[in-house]
Amino acid sequence: MNMARFELTLPAMGEGIIEAAITRWHVVKGQQVKTDQVLLEVATDKVDSEIPSPVEGTVFRIVYNEGEIPRVGEVIAIIETEGDNNEEHVEMHVEPVVHDKKQVAVELHAPVNLQTGHDHSEKEDTYISPLVRLLAQQRGIQANELKQVKGTGLDGRITRDDLIAFMAVRNPTPFGGDWTTVPEPQNSQNGLAVPEITPDEDDEVVEMDRMRKLIASHMIRSKRVAPHVTSFLEADLTGMADWRAKNKDGFFAKEMVRLTFTPLFVEAVSKAIKDFPGVNVAVSGENIILRKNINVGVATALPTGNLIVPVIRNADLENLSGLARKITDLAERARNGGLVPAEIKGGTFTITNIGQYNNLTGTPIINQPESAILAVGTIVKKPWAVKTEIGYGIAVRDIAMLSLTYDHRVIDGALGGSFLSRVVWYLENFDTNREI
């Protein structure tokens, strides 16, 4: 008798669902099954489902065990059937498990013990799906912490995205990387051996926290892959500074946010990127990715001393009021640990304001996978040559040094210098008659 092996894959279970947790197998290896017999139960953050067998045969192999999380389309079991000796595939459609109304009511209000997975009391605010429970276990989230997660699903249920957002707040990733990954300590940097340092008796040894490890890894990686070049230009910000001083109180009264220099710099950079889109790129192997959206990251110092870069998406489409509100909101939530992963991802250009610490200038490291970063130095009053109707004279002006660091693989000096000059031009030619 010829035998065929049917590959049972995890079927699609709705838009946006890419994986599911296997909560229970109803069959074991070697067991005979019939068509439409329930083989297993799976759980997602949106629905719990039973998966029936599309064929009749014998369970040859169970690929994913209970508690594991396959992705849609992956083989979860193999069933031997009578027929030609080849592998088969059958389209499946899975309906959600439907319980009676009393059972649904019990589930919606029964708390779950994260260690055992069993209900242990009669009342709770939110039902926790098996998938969310499993993910919480894997990430070390205790039951009391899970109660703090705000659910956005049906009837306030906690979804996988809610859990990810909670983890990002609890342990934020500064540059939009994988929030589950912490780089292992390295014994070498850029291929060079790092010497062991023996502390003195009076020295204190403090292990880097998770975010500092991520920053260190990110900076080393950027310096390793991108040849950094930095260009400098001074900008006369007198007109813009005077306009801001005259309008900041009225702006606050109208918008209820402070008018800082940051949105003015973001506005000028966004305009310059439109003029020189070659700086709004990323490098992928031997390919250049031309970014169509202008997503400007604003480096923000945290109370811990670490750094995070929230991103203003489509900054070129925002007016000054919109930029000010978004920058203020992102900065405040960054300092309070209120950002979600999407708000620190997708940047195409970064601005860092080193002038807030009275630094004249600096040479920042490119925030990968971007190709350029602008540092703005402190604004100082200094004598400056100005052109008048009768020639040049000396006047006291508000001057700031701007430095642009760029990836010399894709941005040459001509492009980098031209872009920086255009940013300065927009700042120096600020419309001082502009209404708020």
3-state DSSP percent of the chain in helix, strand and coil, to 5? 30, 25, 45
Amino acid at 285: G
Instruction: Determine the angle formed by the axes of helices 238-255 and 320-335, rounding to 10 degrees.
Output: 80
Report residue 78: phi and psi, to 5°: -125, 130
DSSP 107-169: HHH--B-TTT--B-SS--SS---HHHHHHHHHTT--HHHHTTSPP-SGGGPPPHHHHHHHHHH
Q: Provide the sign of the torsion angle of the four alpha carbons 209, 215, 221, 223, taken in this order.
A: negative
CA distance 264 to 320: 7
Amino acid at 321: S
Amino acid at 21: A
Task: Name the 3-class secondary structure at 307.
Answer: strand
CB 403 within 8 A of CB 377: yes
| Dihedral, 243, 245, 246, 252 alpha carbons, nearest 10 | 110
Residues recorded for the chain: 436
Task: Name the 3-class secondary structure at 325.
Answer: helix
Number of CB atoms found within 10 A of residue 335's CB: 15
Residue 89 gets the label, from left (phi > 0), alpha (psi -120 to 50) or beta, of beta
* Half-sphere exposure of residue 409: CA atoms within 13 angstroms, side-chain side: 20
The residues that are catalytic are: 408, 412
Amino acid at 55: V
Closest CA to 104 of 66, 148, 157: 157
Continuous segment of H or E residues that includes residue 297: strand 296-298
CA distance 147 to 53: 37
What does each C-alpha distance from 2 to 29, 82, 85, 352, 401 come to in angstroms? 20, 6, 6, 68, 79
